[in-house]
């Protein structure tokens, strides 16, 4: 990846405003009485284990935000909003740096701003989930380290990401899909197994530490039912929240498919798209797709291929030549 240029620094400054805009929309789009639900109910519930599964196993964000509030001494709601803004900014900046692995500063900024524009489609919950933006930040960072083959840094990010949300285990799958496609060697096999073991250890360890509690594991029927518009008592957007995931992903997925047709496509990008497909299938099976925030990891998985649809010239010049040019 090239060193940060002036345009990169301009973009990083621009993302401050973008992060505030997203944070503002994120806060104000929730119903008034639930704007602080994450702070006054969710975080204390996770900390004392009363909120219920699977929230009590996703400890990173609640503990981090709680520490931030105690450490800074700022009023809790203000500190909560600031922490959220910090995570949003971190996610945007990380996305830009991630895309710079293959694209120019302008293309990377375009991709990051495009992703930022789609983020409001993930604000379908009645209250702001503390783990959403940390998830986007950590998953993107993990993808960046996979692409750059920084395995030690990746391991640290993987641990943090899985402590935030279990579906970050797909980072381990991405690592295996990418590195084993390059070269199957004892080293890569051992590392793939180790990363998988880390995910399993955190998953089972959290359940052992906090007590095993069951919840609805298979959500297929509910997800199908939510595709139907809700009743007329809801506002027009709320009625089609069950389709927001489709609106969020359909065009990017199509663009990613178009982008993959370019020749010379880097192996990482080619491997990330099938992992995104598998992620989608998993979410559909075990999560509530009406909560479109669960698809945030699709952003870093699809974005590089999506951008390839814009930067690949029509004459069929190879992708590498196009991004250099």
Q: Which residues contact 251 (CB under 8 A, 6 or more apart)?
A: none
Task: Return the residue of 181, 185, 187, 263 that touches another protein, per CB under 8 A.
Answer: 181
- Which residues, numbered 186-225, are part of the site for another protein (CB under 8 A)? 218, 220-221, 223-225
| Both tokens assigned to 189 | 């096999």
Residue for token pair 């400890």: 59
The nearer residue to another protein, 115 or 289, going by C-beta atoms, is 289
Quick one: 159 or 192, whose CB is closer to another protein? 192
How near is the Cβ of 184 to another protein at its closest, in Å? Answer: 9
* Shortest distance (Å) from residue 307 CB to another protein: 16
Q: Which of residues 44-103 bind another protein (CB under 8 A)?
A: none
User: In angstroms, what is the minimal distance from the CB of 284 to another protein?
Assistant: 4
Could you tell me the smallest distance in angstroms from the CB atom of residue 221 to another protein?
Answer: 6
What long-range pairs does 29-38 form, CB within 8 A, spacing at least 24?
29/120, 29/123, 30/123, 30/125, 30/126, 30/127, 30/128, 31/126, 34/126, 34/127, 35/127, 35/128, 36/77, 36/80, 37/126, 37/127, 37/128, 38/80, 38/127, 38/128, 38/129, 38/130
Nearer to another protein, 97 or 192 (CB): 192
> Among residues 177, 188, 311, 312, which is the contact residue for another protein, using CB under 8 A?
177
Task: Let me know how long the chain is.
Answer: 325
Question: Whole-angstrom Cα distance, residue 28 to residue 182?
Answer: 46
Closest CB 134 distance from another protein, rounded Å: 26
Between CA 26 and CA 288 the distance in angstroms is 20
Choice between 99 and 273, CB closer to another protein: 273
Which x/- pattern, by CB under 8 A, does the window 248-287 give for another protein?
---------x--xx--------xx-xx--xx-xx--xx--
Helices 298-311 and 244-260, axial angle in degrees (round to 10)? 50
Give min distance, CB of 293 to another protein, in A. Answer: 18
List the one residue out of 253, 290, 292 whose CA is nearest residue 272. 253
Distance CA 177, CA 147 (A): 11
**Closer to another protein at the Cβ: 13 or 218?**
218
Q: Where do contacts with another protein occur on this chain (CB under 8 A)?
A: 177, 181, 218, 220-221, 223-225, 228, 257, 260-261, 270-271, 273-274, 277-278, 280-281, 284-285
């Amino acid at each position: 990846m090239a060193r940060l240029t002036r345009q990169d620094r301009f973009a990083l400054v621009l993302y401050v405003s973008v992060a505030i805009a997203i944070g503002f929309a994120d806060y104000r789009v929730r119903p008034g009485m639930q704007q602080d639900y994450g702070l006054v109910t969710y975080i204390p519930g996770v900390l004392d284990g009363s909120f219920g599964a699977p929230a009590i196993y996703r400890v990173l964000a609640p503990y981090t935000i709680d520490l931030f509030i105690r450490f800074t001494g700022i009023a809790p709601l203000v500190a909560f909003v600031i922490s959220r803004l910090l995570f949003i900014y971190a996610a945007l900046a990380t996305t830009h740096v991630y895309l710079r692995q293959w694209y120019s500063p302008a293309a990377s900024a375009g991709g990051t701003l495009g992703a930022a524009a789609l983020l409001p489609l993930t604000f379908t919950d009645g209250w702001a989930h503390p783990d959403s933006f940390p998830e986007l930040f950590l998953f993107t960072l993990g993808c960046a380290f996979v692409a750059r083959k920084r395995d030690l840094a990746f391991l640290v990010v993987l641990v943090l990401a899985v402590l935030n949300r279990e579906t970050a285990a797909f980072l381990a799958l991405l690592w295996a899909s990418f590195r084993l496609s390059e070269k199957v060697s004892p080293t890569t096999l051992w590392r793939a197994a180790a990363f998988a073991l880390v995910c399993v250890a955190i998953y089972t360890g959290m359940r052992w530490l906090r007590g095993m509690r069951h919840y609805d594991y298979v959500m297929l029927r509910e997800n199908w039912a939510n595709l139907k518009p809700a009743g007329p008592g809801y506002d027009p957007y709320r009625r089609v929240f069950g389709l927001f995931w489709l609106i969020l992903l359909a065009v990017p997925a199509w663009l990613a498919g178009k982008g993959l047709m370019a020749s010379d496509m880097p192996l990482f990008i080619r491997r990330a798209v099938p992992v995104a497909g598998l992620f989608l299938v998993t979410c559909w099976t075990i999560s509530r797709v009406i909560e479109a925030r669960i698809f945030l990891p699709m952003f870093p998985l699809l974005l590089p291929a999506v951008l390839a649809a814009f930067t690949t010239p029509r004459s069929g010049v190879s992708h590498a030549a196009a991004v250099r040019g």
